[in-house]
Structure 1
């Protein structure tokens, strides 16, 4: 299936040693973790070394962010012995670091389509949990991270972006968001890793994505080691 993708995207799959896997838990909340991807040229799936017996929703996403284009694969997973197979349904590719750049978008047949925006019908997602944020000192130095949310079509969506901690307000303010990222008030996850342009390794934050007066922000409800 991936054989019809441009060679620069197939090269990303082949050369990346770490990707970010986003799944959806039983309450409809996104969960992100670092995984080791495995790809065979032209194959119909991308393998990841991750347990699949705790994945309750078939909709998953893989973010490849390193040298070359940043590539997001939205797909469905199939369990395999000691691994997971992700069958691509939609592929986004951003060239360069400018979030204002329109992504290349490939549909379920991996043919390029004109719009960089997903136009699948909306099916809804979990509502925000609500309540005040739980601040943790590990959030003070957070400068960038992967943001994962659930799109209106039921697929996870993820992107790396700059983070501005606001301890007094009890929120993490989000920097410029890439074109094509579907945001709505609801559960979200921030995963700070040492991949891409982030410096060092930070925590994994679960909370509510909400629109504030100055833009989008995450209200943290749980902070765990990445």
Structure 2
């Protein structure tokens, strides 16, 4: 699929020295961590150097450095690292992050709007429970947010977060256009900061993230 993508997106894959890998654990929760990608122009896969164990072959790779934010959803195969075969690619314009993303879908072999039309599968609801607050959360102003979309693929984007220690939540003032947001398990991963597992919930003021575990990245 990658050979048919615009050159600026292939350049993103080839030029990034780090990316965020999102997998789904055995409880159906998204898990995000930083990895080292490798891409051969025109190749069928994007490789991950780290030896990763995947329970569910549905994964996502987020490239969000200085250029356009690009999300690759694909299927993973472990063999001397991880090989991710793209199924869909979302690309947000770097000069207009509020615009609808372009969607490149290997099944349709054409460019469509940022609406995924794959059949929906079951989605886990929020795990619930009390929030676990950590002082490190108060320093966050942006992070990757990962969730599991209605089609069973992880979805991730980098966005602004607003810590609210009083209510024990991280508020999400602006979600990227095209992100399939539903209440349920989610993961926040901050650059040079913690990885946080919790629930994505809808509150009166909009969407918020309730932390349940704050881990070293």
Same fold, judged at TM 0.5 (above): yes
Could you tell me which runs of 5 or more consecutive residues in structure 1 were left unpaired when the two chains were aligned: 194-200
Summarize the alignment of residues 60-209 of structure 1 with structure 2, pairs less than 5 Å apart. Answer: 60-81=59-80, 83-96=81-94, 98-109=96-107, 111-193=109-191, 201-209=192-200
Deviation at 1:97, TM superposition (A): 5.5
Report how many residues are paired. 217
Secondary structure of the 1:10 match is helix
CA RMSD of aligned residues (A): 1.2
The alignment's TM-score, normalised by the length of structure 2, stands at 0.97
Could you tell me which runs of 5 or more consecutive residues in structure 2 were left unpaired when the two chains were aligned: none
Q: Deviations over 1:185-217 (max 9, x none)?
A: 100000001xxxxxxx21110000000110100
Q: Deviations over 1:110-157 (max 9, x none)?
A: 733332111111102222110121111111111100000000000000
Name the residue aligned to 1:223. Answer: 214
Secondary structure of the 1:205 match is strand
- Asked if the contact 1:2–1:110 (Cα under 8 Å) also holds between the matched residues in 2, the reply is no
Name the residue aligned to 2:21. Answer: 21
Name the residue aligned to 2:44. Answer: 44
Alpha-carbon separation, structure 2, partners of 1:44 and 1:110: 16
Alpha-carbon separation, structure 1, partners of 2:168 and 2:95: 28
Alpha-carbon separation, structure 1, partners of 2:58 and 2:188: 18
Deviation at 1:102, TM superposition (A): 1.1
